[in-house]
């Protein structure tokens, strides 16, 4: 907001007062400014009511932290080696260019233009506000179980603060006769290097000769950390250590968001960058190990024949779509705190490429260690490779036990997982809080946003408690597989259709040009209208065709639990038609067609949030009411200005006082 300041230093006043007077707008009276008597301008948010990022680096780092999550570490490397190694990179980067970056740019520009969260932006076409509610439902589901994963990483982090990792040997009360470690037995811990090598060879021989091997890390995970039950319906008791870590996790998230983007924007300087330090440390350590090259070769060796497999392209498209966080509402929310003229086109390219490069880099870190483990076990890399929780809490921790000073590497690894998870969790919680605050929109709710944040955090903690029971892992995987699967694809597809075909692509292109100063490149125009919706539809069809009922190891989920999973998936999608019907029924019109047309028409308040940016077709129309009202308003403002000048004159006459203070009059203009 441009500010025109008229400064008067008036002696004889006991306080600093800012008297706001506007010629064509309104501002509140501000008293008792505790600033020193200086003429230097104070840095202000462009949108003083909602707030903005402290600077553009904070937005980029937050978005990187949001997009780069646990999936980059525990899902992409597995997909890569399963789908042809280096050959998978071809469809992966093609999908990034034609689907990932365009959708990322679309959501960033959408939120930045309106300066509203995932609910408020649907003033663009009120009938589709159900898409925003669907995004909120998805973010709620993900936020509940995602923080449970973070809390388990917290638990492993705390358990790594020891001289000996508890999942190193098979001599613990929770181990079974099938357990077979790769490090030998506990009494050999203090032996010489030669003895340790001998015991390692003996342990490997024992493993190879066994027909069935259960690793110490797997038994630690199943029988000690989870104490897993035999059925999803058998909840059992709450695992108190996990519950405590869940409370810690939510408390950390709340503290980092206590002042919204003002506080989280500072935290991401560490949470978004330090994981790369840890990845680099683990990578350097990994490539120096025996067998690491074999693991990396297994990760990257191209199998070009698989490029012709439709499943490979489907996996590539799905990974790009889910990894970037499209349709969660987080991208719209984060961009809504940008300044109006920020170059979000540049940001979308930087963040998207950073996300994908991180996935590839994490693959080197993971497979160098897994190659080392396979080398010592004398088995193929495929037998030790895993994904999801199996990689993070079983395979990789077991590999770390083979390293000297293993607790140090374990601490670094789980600290990295915690930071990666928190970066995503910050945005999930902020998405929900921003949507609620924007929707209510009162001065009280804006001033007390911290209370909303605390309430959402407490609700998230309570809803996550069932996931800390003995059956919690079953429910966590159920939510992971169904709550944010095909529903995200449907939400994203409808969003593209609404913006490009209901609101109109020409209108949106003009909006982007007004905001950025240049129109979207031709490539993005074509992608938004044609290519990206086709790819999204392909992902949906692929998801349906490739659907298989969820299992966990040898456990097959019962039918009633799958029904709950589908209900979770549909609960976000059903918001769209339900709200559309509601909006149509409440819209004016004599016929259904008129109601439908009015429900789709943009709200009068759609457009830039600040009056100074509402130019062109968003400029206020000069109606009779405004023609009459503006002179009256100008008279009132002129009277305020005259009164301020009288105060100034009176204060000048008192200038002979022995003590002097300053009295400052600011005159703001909103246009």
- 52: helix, strand or coil: coil
- From residue 489, give the alpha-carbon distance in Å to each of 92, 328, 388, 572: 17, 10, 21, 11
* 8 A C-beta contact, residue 335 and residue 110: yes
Q: Do the annotations mark residue 72 as ligand-binding?
A: yes
- Residues present in the chain in total: 671
Enter the DSSP assignment of 17: E
* 8 A C-beta contact, residue 392 and residue 70: yes
Counting beta carbons within 10 angstroms of the beta carbon of residue 570, is it exposed (0 to 12), middle (13 to 18) or buried (19 or more)? middle
Whole-angstrom Cα distance, residue 183 to residue 403? 10
Whole-angstrom Cα distance, residue 341 to residue 360? 33
CB atoms within 10 A of CB 304: 11
Whole-angstrom Cα distance, residue 295 to residue 80? 13
Taking phi over 0 as left and psi of -120 to 50 as alpha, with beta for the rest, 180 belongs to beta
Exposure string for 227-250, b = 16+ CB within 10 A, e = fewer: ebbeebeebeebbebbbebbeebb
Query: Which structure tokens are listed for 329?
Result: 């509402």
Q: Do the annotations mark residue 448 as ligand-binding?
A: no
Dihedral (CA of 152, 156, 159, 164) sign:
positive
Whole-angstrom Cα distance, residue 133 to residue 563? 22
DSSP-assigned beta bridge partners for residue 556: 551
Q: Do the annotations mark residue 578 as ligand-binding?
A: no
DSSP letter string over 88-140?
GHHHHHHHIIIIIHHHHHHHHHHHHHHT--TTGGGGGSGGGHHHHHHHHHHHH
Query: Which structure tokens are listed for 593?
Result: 């067609």
Q: Do the annotations mark residue 292 as ligand-binding?
A: no
How many Cα atoms are found within 13 Å in the side-chain-facing hemisphere of 297?
A: 8
Enter the DSSP assignment of 527: I
Instruction: Please give the torsion angle defined by the CA atoms of residues 74, 79, 82 and 88, in that order, rounded to the nearest 10 degrees.
Output: -140
* 8 A C-beta contact, residue 402 and residue 217: no
Q: Do the annotations mark residue 420 as ligand-binding?
A: yes
* 8 A C-beta contact, residue 320 and residue 99: yes
Q: How wide is the angle at C-alpha 53 spanned by C-alphas 459 and 339, nearest 5°?
A: 120
Whole-angstrom Cα distance, residue 425 to residue 257? 10
* 8 A C-beta contact, residue 511 and residue 593: no
* H/E run at residue 18: strand 17-18
Q: At what angle do helices 101-114 and 486-497 cross, to 10 degrees?
A: 60
| Tokens 């996935």 sit on residue | 359
**CA nearest neighbour of 349 among 96, 534, 531:** 96
Separation of first and last alpha carbons in the chain = 8
Whole-angstrom Cα distance, residue 203 to residue 347? 51
Binding region:
65, 67-68, 72, 323, 355, 420
Binding region for Na(+):
65, 67-68, 72, 323, 355, 420
């Amino acid at each position: 907001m441009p500010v025109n300041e008229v400064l008067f230093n008036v002696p004889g006043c006991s306080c600093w007062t800012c008297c706001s007077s506007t010629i064509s707008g309104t501002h509140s009276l501000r008293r008792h400014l505790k600033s020193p008597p200086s003429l230097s301008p104070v840095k202000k948010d462009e949108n003083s009511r909602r707030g903005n990022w402290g600077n553009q680096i904070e937005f980029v780092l937050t978005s990187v932290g949001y997009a780069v999550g646990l999936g980059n570490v525990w899902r992409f490397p597995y997909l890569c080696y399963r789908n042809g190694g280096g050959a998978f990179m071809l469809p992966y980067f093609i999908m990034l260019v034609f689907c990932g970056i365009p959708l990322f740019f679309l959501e960033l520009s959408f939120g930045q233009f309106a300066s509203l969260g995932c609910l408020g932006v649907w003033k663009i076409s009120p009938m589709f506000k159900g898409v925003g509610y669907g995004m909120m439902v998805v973010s709620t589901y993900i936020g509940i179980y995602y923080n449970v994963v973070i809390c388990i990483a917290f638990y492993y982090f705390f358990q790594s603060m020891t001289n000996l990792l508890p999942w190193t040997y098979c001599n613990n009360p929770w181990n079974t006769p099938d357990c077979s470690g790769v490090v030998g037995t506990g009494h050999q811990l203090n032996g010489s290097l030669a003895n340790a090598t001998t015991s390692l060879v003996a342990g490997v021989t024992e493993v190879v000769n066994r027909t069935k091997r259960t690793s110490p890390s797997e038994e630690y995970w199943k029988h000690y950390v989870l104490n897993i039950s035999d059925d999803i319906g058998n909840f059992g008791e709450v695992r108190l250590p996990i519950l405590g870590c869940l409370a810690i996790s939510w408390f950390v998230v709340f503290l980092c968001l206590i002042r919204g983007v003002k506080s989280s924007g500072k935290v991401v300087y560490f949470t978004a960058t330090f994981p790369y330090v840890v990845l680099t440390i683990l990578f350097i350590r990994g490539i120096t190990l025996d067998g690491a090259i074999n693991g990396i070769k297994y990760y990257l060796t191209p199998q070009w024949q698989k490029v012709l497999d439709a499943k490979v392209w489907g996996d590539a498209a799905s990974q790009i779509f889910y990894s970037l966080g499209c349709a969660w509402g987080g991208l719209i929310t984060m961009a809504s705190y940008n300044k109006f003229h920020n170059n979000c086109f540049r940001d979308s390219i930087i963040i998207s490429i950073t996300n994908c490069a991180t996935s590839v880099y994490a693959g080197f870190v993971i497979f160098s260690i897994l190659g080392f483990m396979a080398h010592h076990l004398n088995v193929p890399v495929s037998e030790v490779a895993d994904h999801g929780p199996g990689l993070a809490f079983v395979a990789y921790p077991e590999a770390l036990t083979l390293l000297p000073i293993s607790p140090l590497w374990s601490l670094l690894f789980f600290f990295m997982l915690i930071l990666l998870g928190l970066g995503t969790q910050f945005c999930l919680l902020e998405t929900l809080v921003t949507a609620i605050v924007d929707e209510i929109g009162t001065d009280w709710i804006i001033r007390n946003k911290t209370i909303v944040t605390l309430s959402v955090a407490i609700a998230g903690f309570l809803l996550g408690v069932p996931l800390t029971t003995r059956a919690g892992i079953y429910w966590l995987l159920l939510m992971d597989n169904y709550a944010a699967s095909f529903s995200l694809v449907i939400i994203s597809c409808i969003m593209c259709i609404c913006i490009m075909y209901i609101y109109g692509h020409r209108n949106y292109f003009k909006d982007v040009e007004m905001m950025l100063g240049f129109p979207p490149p031709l490539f993005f125009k074509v992608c938004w209208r044609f290519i990206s919706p086709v790819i999204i539809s392909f992902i949906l069809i692929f998801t349906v065709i490739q659907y298989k009922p969820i299992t966990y190891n040898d456990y097959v989920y019962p039918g009633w639990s799958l029904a709950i999973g589908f209900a979770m998936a549909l609960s976000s999608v059903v918001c769209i038609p339900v709200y559309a019907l509601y909006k149509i029924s409440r819209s004016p019109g004599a016929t259904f067609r008129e109601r439908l047309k009015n429900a789709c028409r943009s709200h009068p308040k759609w457009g830039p949030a600040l009056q100074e940016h509402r130019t062109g077709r968003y400029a206020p129309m000069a109606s009779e009411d405004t023609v009459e009202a503006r002179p009256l308003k100008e008279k009132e403002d002129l009277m305020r200005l005259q009164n301020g000048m009288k105060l100034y004159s009176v204060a000048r006459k008192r200038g002979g006082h022995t003590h002097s203070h300053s009295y400052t009059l600011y005159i703001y203009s909103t246009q």
